[in-house]
Structure 1
Amino acid sequence: MKNILFIALLLLATAGFAAAQIGAAPSNDVLGAHLNYGRGCAACHAPHSGVYGNGNAKTADPTAGTVALWGEDLGSLYGKPLQIGSTNGTTGFAEVLPTSLMAGTPDVSGVLMCLSCHDGNYATGAMMKNKVYETLPATYGSGTIPTLLGNDNTGVGNYLNDHPVGLNAVMGCGGQYDWDCTIDGNGKVLMTGANSSKFVTNYGFFVSPGTYNAKPVVMCTTCHNQHLMNVVKVTTGAKSGLPSGNYATMFFIRAPYNPASGTAGSNQTAQFCRQCHGGEANESNGGTAVTTF
């Protein structure tokens, strides 16, 4: 009887593990939309002469291309102001973009470089069509998801309807809407509280905040891994209690995130947001639900 019970539990665990994982390797290239219609890595990283090597010979920036061999012209974005991520519909977070690739702040690679293609206001974007690349699940309806922050069909220059990013978008711990986490002297978020540690077990902490003045700050790259569009590798350990393996994702999200999941009641997309928005998580509100894929 004990052996039968053990086998049943083993089969149940194996079934849960299989359901959670992607099941098979992605059939399309993991770089996805950032293949740039076949041009590949060189569309962003010009291996010779940086931005000049991508045909942007008119740039006035002598440091162009010196960071990550960046091949897009950032000159039109330097020092530009953004009122981004409004919480009341009018003000938003006041941000000023770096004035140089050599500024040394996390928003150089975490925001500025992203906007050289994804702005559409100050920078029109290279090969951008302002449409999502992936096939959207039926639950999303028939609407087109825009990809340009500053020109998303709501009016050129409108950043108020975009998630806050930048040096002023500081992640917090211990507030009404935050986790019971702590921030160490280097600006690293430690998910060691009773609720936050339980969440890490139930889902994980995959986001990658930047650090500015010893505080964690939200960048575009906090939530997005620009090099992996459709898959994320998870290793069981301090960052996540999920079984190790490859998990489906979308939109370059750097965590398990699959709105196309066929599982009824799947909450993985909500779990992704809860990594930072801990006040709305199950663990902070007496709930016992774990991650359902």
Structure 2
Amino acid sequence: MIALVMGIAIGIPITLIMGRLLGKANGILTALIVIPITTYAFALYEVGIFRGLNASIDGFSPEFIAGLETFMALLVALAYVELRTRKGLRIDDFIQTSITLLPYVSLAIALASQFWPGFLATGMLLILIVVAGSLRNPGKGLSLKPCPPEFGDCLTDENSLMSVIVGGRILVGGRALREFPRAGELIECMKRAEGISPMRKVVGFLVSLAPLGAMMLPFGEITVAVGLVAAYVSTLTAAAMLTKGRSIPCPEINEEYRNFLKEKKRKIDVAV
């Protein structure tokens, strides 16, 4: 289990540093990337050693152990995400984490499945558990309070800029309420906005699984590089599938809000 220990020992400090420097959402993304990939790299080295010795580990093949370590690294990363999102999550962080979670979980599953294909089925079960949890409690971890009375029925936080509808509830960032001149009109428009169709949700979900295809590539850097690109592209594509092309009740206000976000949110990691 040296690979897993090294993945945690290297990944957790990097994750904490990135979270401190760039915010909670970036820290969460770093955990999903660095911990599994670092473990994967050390697991490849372990497999090479045991193959050279023609040895097994407690009756298990070196490939199975390497895949198990990589999969366990994903579980450690998800445990970190759970701890970081249990409470105090801003609306901005929630939106970014929700969009990026599945593609990078899929990448980690692909890395583990390269060593032993059985982890693909286990990984799909894990993904279903994650999705079921988000459906059961869609706003889990959010730190919210009622909007001021003049804005009507909505929820807000202290300093987010973005806005979203989650579980039928309108969530509007606290900075947006304070700094966007037409915040009240934006909320009224959100009340009239159409929901995301089930077909769009299904397609967005399938697109998020695209990084699983990296398991078919050769071992090593090519898998990591292609997998990271696939995860990034699938994140943007899934976000576009859920947002683009929908009927917007107030296009003028929506355009003003988009420009407001682009001006204010310099470190945003998703397309707005």
TM-score range, shorter chain: under 0.3
Normalised to the residue count of structure 1, the TM-score between the two structures is: 0.23
The structure with the largest helix share of the pair is: 2
The structure with the largest strand share of the pair is: 1
